[in-house]
A and B are shown apart, each in its own frame.
Chain A
């Protein structure tokens, strides 16, 4: 397959109709709409759940629209707990992971797709292989490592271990394979140094994939719960998912649903905004390259 990607060409309008708008198409479209609505229901339920008191939350039949909406849960969330501090912590952690992971991924992806060096394939497969191990499995060795580094209850404990992001490396490598070699060679002929080549040619060409990887990594950092739970100790170092889940836990194995939903909605809002702002940017032309290799 020799698939090239020309990002300078403006997107053709009107877009190609992959399928003719026949009756079949309309049925298919209706299915998509139904599916989308189905996926939005749990989110809708989460958001209006945050406006219900516990009693209404379990009422049967359920109330689709809360008849007596209340801000009680939100007041509890912001009450005397440092919820904004938790959000700030989540931001710091997720941004650093997003930024760091995308940097290492672009560089490594470039090396794995365009550079020739002994051990390249082995190294790449090593990265890929570790994606396959569940994190719960090496939590204990990781924990021992954290202790030796004296990193408990710090930002770096939540950030540094995730700076290498195999999923991102994999994605970058696949993407960069579709960048024609001639383009890079041309730049080298012009006398660009390795770093110039990387910075002025490779990075701009990879922009869509960079956008995608950074948002995926940011999200991974934002929603990571288990690790952040075990490495934070003090209330001021907790992240949003950790703080909220502790806030909602009430004694004997039961949960305050409304409060959990308020916390989840609170955590969801920034992600929603980020997504809306960046969506056009990172979905524009990203494809994951050619298969062979």
Chain B
């Protein structure tokens, strides 16, 4: 027998083995529900609507593994808050859900998710940022796999400050200002009479975007949550922060319809130059504002710069960071099926996928191996430096009862703005309410 024939035989055998093992693959159907990409990755401009990018991802995966069927569903906000809990309670959850931590936490605490420590290879977990892994660990189990996070700070339309002749009041060197410097700058801006009626655009209508408000508390050295999931409404520095925000409102430096204004309107205040500052992230800077400019929504000159929130003398305020992750639900899957669910999860959250995603949405990857995809963006470097310098703030996202405490707040901020309650009364009431909520978990 010559070598060639042996090689051919071996090749044939190998082919046979592969083919049969391929045949032996039982079909698996995986359902994947997703809070869709905020914007398509830059190099996939063809995707422009809800979940098209995610559908494309799933198709790629199915091509690689023909025995797997993935059913993708992009969810909008009302679905994330009605359909998902209803489906879980009815015992019909998706296999994988992409949603932000504040909500997956609720599922984790209710123990309807699988413990990913049992399914993910150690090296995959080791690749994730350790702080986030800790945050996602609820009662010793990893309830979801973090995939990206955003940071939050002020976005200031410098063009308006320049127009008013007070551009030099912006701390563009170290991006850091005190409460007094801040009030001075925005009061002068408003009084310059160039149409900036309410320098800071805020909404306390819903819990969505409440960090716009909380950032004033962090700036005063206060907290919403202390470590260990203790609400910090009784902290005197929290009171100082809330009083500061209230002062801004009462002095007319915040839009008067803040108690119930819609998100659309809040952004439009900024786009139309009635306001010069909003809370936002790199996503606001790199995606939202350019998009609005494309649509012609921006009617004033726009030169957005990134600044930290003002802080009280001697305080250092950090950055809040809000992560989103993939939760895997316990559907009583067999080991074999779980293998494929895990495989798909790792595919969705691979290093390449994270880089893709981050590029499109200007957020931060959770894998160390993803490096710094936005390193060329000067603001990105700035944010990284600022976070390194100032640290992060605890948003309490992983606490049991987080969402209820979160929703309890807007009505109180509203009543404070309307002068029905003083800041001290509001915080006293919230302390009580939060204690009651937490004791009832």
Contact = CB atoms under 8 A, between A and B. Distances in A.
Q: So, do A and B actually touch in the complex, CB under 8 Å? A: yes
A88 to B, nearest CB: 20
Interface residues of B, number: 34
30 contacts: A54-B296, A54-B297, A58-B264, A58-B268, A58-B272, A60-B272, A143-B87, A143-B92, A144-B89, A144-B90, A146-B90, A152-B92, A226-B82, A229-B79, A230-B79, A230-B86, A234-B73, A245-B78, A246-B50, A246-B76, A246-B79, A249-B77, A251-B36, A251-B38, A252-B263, A252-B283, A252-B288, A253-B77, A253-B206, A253-B263
Contacts of B36: 251
Interface in A228-284: 229-230, 233-234, 245-247, 249, 251-255, 257
Contacts of A234: 71, 73
Q: Which of A81, A247, A254 has the most chain B CB atoms inside 10 A of its CB? A: A254
B266 to A, nearest CB: 9
B76 A245 contact: yes
A71 to B, nearest CB: 16
A150 B203 CA distance: 42
Contacts of B299: 55
Interface in B34-64: 36, 38-39, 49-50
B279 interface: no
A147 interface: yes
A253 B263 CA distance: 7
B295 A143 contact: no
Nearest to B31: A233
A144 B93 CA distance: 12
Given A55-B296, A55-B297, A58-B272, 14 more contacts: A53-B295, A53-B296, A54-B296, A54-B297, A143-B89, A143-B92, A144-B89, A144-B91, A146-B90, A245-B78, A246-B50, A246-B79, A249-B50, A254-B267
Interface string B174-201: 0000000000000000000000000000
Interface residues of A, number: 28
B391 to A, nearest CB: 25
Contacts of A247: 49-50
Interface of A: 53-55, 58, 60, 81, 139-140, 143-144, 146-147, 152, 226, 229-230, 233-234, 245-247, 249, 251-255, 257
Contacts of A55: 295-297, 299
Interface in B241-289: 263-264, 267-268, 272, 283, 288
A50 to B, nearest CB: 16
Nearest to A246: B76
A249 B77 CA distance: 8
A230 B89 CA distance: 13
Interface string B279-317: 000010000100000011101000000000000000000
Contact of B82 (A144, A230, A254): A230
